[in-house]
Structure 1
Amino acid sequence: MTSTVPTPTQTSVPPLLLDRLRDHARASPDALACAFVAEDSADGAEEEQLTYASLDREVRAVATGLRAHLAPGDRVLLLLPEGADFVRGFLGCMRAGVIPVPAYPPLPVQSRQRVETLRSIVADCQPRAVLSSASDEDVEAICGVAPDLADLVWRRPAELLELTPDPAADHPATADGVAFLQYTSGSTSAPKGVVVTHGAIAHNLAMIAAGFDLDEPPRMVSWLPLFHDMGLIGNLLYPLWAGGSSVLMTPMTFLKRPARWLRAISRHRAHVAGGPNFGFDLCVRRVRDREIEGIDLSGWRSAFNGAEPVRAATLDAFAERFAAYGFDPRAWWPCYGLAEATLLVTSVDPRLAPRRLTVDRDAFQQDLVIPVEVTAEAAAPADDITTLVSCGTAKLDRTVLIVDPETGGPTPPGRVGEIWIGGPLLPVGYWDNERATEETFRAVPTEGPQLPYMRSGDLGFLHDGELYVTGRCKDLLIVGGRNHYPQDIEATIEESHEAIRKSCVAAFAVDDGGEERVVVVAGAGQGAVGPGENAAAKRAEIVKAAAVAVAAEHGIQLHDVAMVGPNAVPKTSSGKLRRAACRSSYLAGEYAPSTPTEQTAHTEES
């Protein structure tokens, strides 16, 4: 069985995050810990700053307020916007020994997706308190749609900051103690909370530090949401652990005007910044020269790219577009990770350009890896080849195995399989979900080291010791760096228009050569299928309703909605959707073209 590193050995636990924060506050009290960019800032100017001394004091004040009502181990739901209150609240919970549970605030409460997700998280982790900066009116509205929250202890960080820190509220962290619950982007009916320990955080932060291999504390600029692992651990906790600084802006600040991110990187001379592949694409498409006049990106040493497939075309386009502003393509740092592994699993060598591998496309579609040497003199046709970007290797005794997902046995060289992850100090499982924990975190291969591994659900292969990620075992969609379950999108579409038949909607992803796009095949009645102007008008009406509903509920844009008769949606004999068969039929052109959704969904400018 192939592995990136030898069988894991006993690894010592790196210094814990809370211990490092206290050390930094004592050694460098006036050093910048984190800053927050104003929503309307054009050049990344910050509206609020926290030094290590002020952060330490405020975190201990929050911990004091929480311990007045809670005991160590109690769960606290964080319904806080990205910003200083989130940082204070999250770290204050950890300092008090209570378990923070970051969750997206369900505002507006008309969003069924957000409300159902929140209610499922509450039912799963049974919090005793809520930290929120929402107004009284918004709190009342939230409790109206999520009544289980009404009887909990509600506190605002601003109120807790007025308290005098009590040393007795400081609960010592241990390596095997639960630090927080990271809920994955899953089905609204059964979300799963990854149990992340203090030791798992410390080990992953040490992996990140080893991967970046910086010779000074990191300076980072991020727009990634703090409710998810890459934003929280990679862009907030890592620089705090390493004694560096992070400048944070909200995702919406970036999405509305991507140039703000680049200007902030220049303004703060950031060493490290990055995000999902789509973010770099957005910069290429949306940033205008007049918006970035005078910026200097030459200090950008690590441009990490992860959370969704890393595309060679994106790396090339971004490097070419911003070369005139000092961006060095040697800064690219593709990586692979997921919440179930805390965050980072593999990364490239920062001293070398990321490796690329060109393979035969027809073979690759059958999960066979056949390298193709492409030279200027004898270039293969573009339709016959696929170029993949390496996500590097694991570090600090982390292991990666490529396994047949059906048998649990080793995959032969040159074949794609499921990525299994092993080694020390991984998260211990899902909160109060023994069945899912056993399936995901305790997999044992049929050959090789009989040690428990974590099943990622992702597909990939190893070539010359480096990991190439190729897709997902299941139907999970990744759009804009976030995971989406197709059944959630399908449910939204079913409710968007009365002509759409229940259980006759299939959502899947297609690759247009630049990024993944979401396509839906929907079975419909009421005269929506067939020739004629009336049917065409009906289809346009349904497509618009579906696109608007999905944009509002999930924050993504549909690439296409193909309308078919209800009986044309492929299913198994037991009535289950056959999404893979549906996707194949769509790609084969078996469904009639329908009205494009580009103008009906929320556009990038909205």
Structure 2
Amino acid sequence: MATTSRASTLLSRLREHVERRPTATAYTFLDDDVEVQRTMTFADLGAAVQTVAANLLARLRPGDRALLLLPEGLDFVPIFLGCLQAGVIAVPAYPPSPVQSRLRVETLRAIVKDCQPDAVVASAPEDVIAEIKDVVPEMAGVWWASSDTLTTTPVDDPIEELPDPERIAFLQYTSGSTSMPKGVVVPHAALVHNEELIRKSMEHDEDLTTVGWLPLFHDMGLIGIVLNPIWLGGQGVLMAPRSFIKRPARWLWAISRYGGTTSGAPNFAFDMCTRRIRDSEIEGLDLSSLRVAFNGAEPVRAQTLHAFGRRFAPYGLDTGALYACYGLAEATLLVTGTRVGTKPQEIIVDTDALQHGKVVLSQTGRTLVSSGFPRIDREVLIVDPDTHEPLDSDHVGEIWIGGPGLPTGYWGNPGASNRTFAAEPTTGGTGPCMRSGDLGFLHRGELYVTGRIKDVIILGGKNHYPQDIEDTAEEAHASIRTGCVASFSVVDDDAERVVVVVGAGGAALGSSEAGTRKRGNIVKAVRAAVATDHGITVDDVVITGPNAVPKTSSGKVQRGRCRAAYLAGEFAHTEKRQKESP
């Protein structure tokens, strides 16, 4: 299929599919048994989008904001696209369910305060909506509309006019992994550019079938799984995140049963599949249709790729389908990706040199996985974050992103927008650039991501990346749950000290003698492992339940919030190193 990034909007592409292939299935939503719960053809979708747009414009004006508090399901797709058709700025957000979740309520209140929505679209019983209004009183006076009403109320005239590509399509709130979320302003043109970048990088065509469980308001789930089939005319197969979390095998069965060609998730999800899926759960599984299994949104671990490949190759998985990539909300989504059909490049670098910002290849040290290279006029620079001077290859610096088709800033925050989206390197000639806040380097033209600037732990003049400490701690004891470890530093007596928070199984949390003994064993194992692998003394080890470790909607650990909770004394079991101990 000859697809170009010069197509005007995603909606114009949808109209093409409605005219050419009206009865083709656009989306399928699965239940917890991986059976079809609901389908939607392109004709169904096109009609629903027009209905939603007309009903929105009966109450709103173009440029108004509509907060979408929709659970997983196919209601989200026509509501989101209906907003785009109406010129109403869509604001996908995480429904605060349960409303007792302090973290989710705080996040939603921050989003509401930031974007000041003119409407809220929800799909929930009246008692639940009343609870949400109670915990987020800022939304009490806003017009609330149900998704059923917007999609089923008859309208007289369809909205024929397509939006200007330069107009704002939606606000994409950041994950809040290092700070409170900010609303990235995504114009239609930026959305189209990234969908084409995904197509080019992952070699997608009309035969595309994406399979996903990520939240639909999350950038990877929305841009990579939900919207890319509209750009290509393929099919999206969707399931609820809780279906995967409760039983990871459901994700692989969805790929197997429905011929998924592309799917993906953050690194932790691949680990969960490798560790938690039993052989008895996947008898007859066939992953041979999968051409791209993208791994992004957090540092990609070589060990994860190797283990996943070994485990599922007997079930038809082509290990060349394992695809490492790098992206972020501020870039709409994708920035770089590896080559389809080829395992991502790996290099081993000297750990001590890396801690001082230099890349020295070595026989032993830290193994890093390439996140690939940019395509279609996307640019990647490595820049000193303090001086803004571009750095040579094989030097660690901040990842800056340039080229056309980027978001334009943060909603209502000109100061942060200027700092992040209007960066200029000292040498000039390239810019403005978007500052990612991530650290990395270029080696032979490929990008290697090493961590977040805000998360780096500096001890004795050396940079230690928290994900490396977390990986070590996670492997230190069998009771520590996958993806439930956070490491960070705190200042105590004018010295930077290292804290590791680990989510462990229930046997380690009780007040019994056995629970106390298990916690002690976990603490000793974590301290010994981190000291051995990194030469670091862990000053405090926190043992908590897996669900008590703050995470984003996509499952990334929120180190900043974890640190704040630690300083506020919200964790029950802490084991501080005695200062007089050697």
Partner in structure 2 of residue 327 of structure 1:
317
1:117 to 94, 107, 111: 107
Say if 2:213 and 2:244, in contact at 8 Å, map to a contact too.
yes
Residues in 2 aligned to 1:106 and 1:416: alpha-carbon distance in whole angstroms = 39
4+ runs deviating over 6 angstroms: 520-524, 536-545, 552-560, 589-593
Q: What amino acid sits opposite 2:163 in the alignment?
A: A
- Are the equivalent residues in 1 in contact too, given 2:65–2:117 (CA < 8 A)? yes
8 Å CA contact 2:28–2:38 kept in 1: the answer is yes
Larger RCO: 1 or 2 (CA < 8 Å, sep 6+): 1
CA-CA distance at 1:546 after TM superposition: 5.6
1:449 paired with 2:429, answer yes
Report the Cα distance in structure 1 between the residues aligned to 2:418 and 2:46, rounded to whole angstroms. 38
Q: Could you tell me which residue of structure 2 aligns to residue 31 of structure 1?
A: 24
Q: Are 2:403 and 1:405 aligned?
A: no
Q: 1:148 to 1:176 in 2, by over 3 A?
A: same
Report the counterpart of residue 390 of structure 1 in structure 2. Answer: 370
Match of 1:140? Answer: 130
Question: What's 1:310 paired with?
Answer: 300
- 1:512 equivalenced with 2:502 (yes/no): no
Structure 1 position 18 matched with structure 2 position 11: yes
| Structure 1 residue 144 displacement after superposition | 1.0
1:274 maps to 2:264: yes
**SS across alignment from 2:100:** coil
Matched ranges for 1:124-203 at <5 A: 124-186=114-176, 190-203=180-193
Q: Shift of residue 559 of structure 1?
A: 13
CA distance in 2, matches of 1:298, 1:553: 32
How far 1:538 moved relative to its partner? 13
Deviation at 1:259, TM superposition (A): 0.6
The letter of the residue matching 1:458 is: D
User: Residue 422 of structure 1 contacts residue 453 of structure 1 at CA under 8 Å; is this kept in 2?
Assistant: yes
Q: Deviations over 1:293-337 (max 9, x none)?
A: 111111111111111111111111111101110101111111100
**Distance change >3 Å, CA 28–CA 306, structure 1 → 2:** same
Give the aligned partner of residue 51 of structure 1: 41
Deviation at 1:180, TM superposition (A): 0.3
- CA distance, structure 1, for counterparts of residue 64 and residue 125 of structure 2: 24
Q: Take 2:552 and 2:399, find their aligned partners in 1: how far apart are those partners? A: 27
- Unmatched runs of 5 consecutive residues or more in structure 2: 458-464, 476-481, 493-511, 521-539, 560-565, 568-574
Specify the alignment match of 1:370 in structure 2. 360
- Which stretch of the first structure deviates more once superposed, 55-64 or 175-184? 55-64
> Quick one: distance in 2 between partners of 1:13 and 1:318?
38
Matches of 1:539 and 1:58, distance apart in 2: 55
1:33 alignment partner, SS class:
strand
1:367 Cα deviation after fit? 2.0
Which residue does the alignment assign to 1:263?
253
Consecutive unaligned residues in structure 1, runs of 5 or more: 1-10, 373-379, 478-506, 525-532, 561-567, 570-584, 594-606
CA displacement, residues 49-105 of structure 1 (integer Å, 9 cap, x when unaligned): 011000111111111111110001100010110111111211111111101101111
1:437-476 CA distance string (max 9 Å, x none): 0000000000142420000000111111111111111129
Q: Is the contact made by 1:72 and 1:171 (CA closer than 8 Å) also made in structure 2?
A: no
The two structures, once aligned, show a CA RMSD in angstroms of: 3.4
Q: What per-residue deviation string (whole Å, max 9, x for no partner) do you get for residues 251-286 of structure 1?
A: 110011111111110101111111111111110001
- State the match for 1:503 in structure 2: none
Hey, what's the Cα distance between the residues in 2 that align with 1:270 and 1:200? 27
Distance in 2, Cα, partners of 1:216 & 1:552: 39
The verdict on how the C-alpha distance between 1:508 and 1:141 changes in structure 2, with shifts beyond 3 A counting, is farther
Q: Distance in 2 between matches of 1:543 and 1:391?
A: 32
1:336 is matched with which residue? Answer: 326
Report how far residue 537 of structure 1 moved. Answer: 7.1
CA displacement at 1:161 relative to structure 2: 2.2
Structure 1 counterpart of 2:30, one-letter code: V
**Kindly tell me: are residues 476 and 275 of structure 1, through their superposed partners in 2, closer, same or farther at Cα, counting changes over 3 Å?**
farther
AA in 2 matched with 1:331:
A
Shift of 1:206: 0.3
The letter for the 2-side match of 1:308 is E
| Residue 70 of structure 2 corresponds to residue 70 of structure 1 | no
Q: 1: distance between equivalents of 2:372 and 2:241? A: 27
Alignment partner of 1:103 is 2:113 = no
Q: How many residues align?
A: 509
Deviation at 1:590, TM superposition (A): 7.5
Q: Secondary structure at the match of 2:172?
A: strand
Q: CA deviation at 1:191?
A: 3.2
CA shift, 1:548, in A, is 7.2
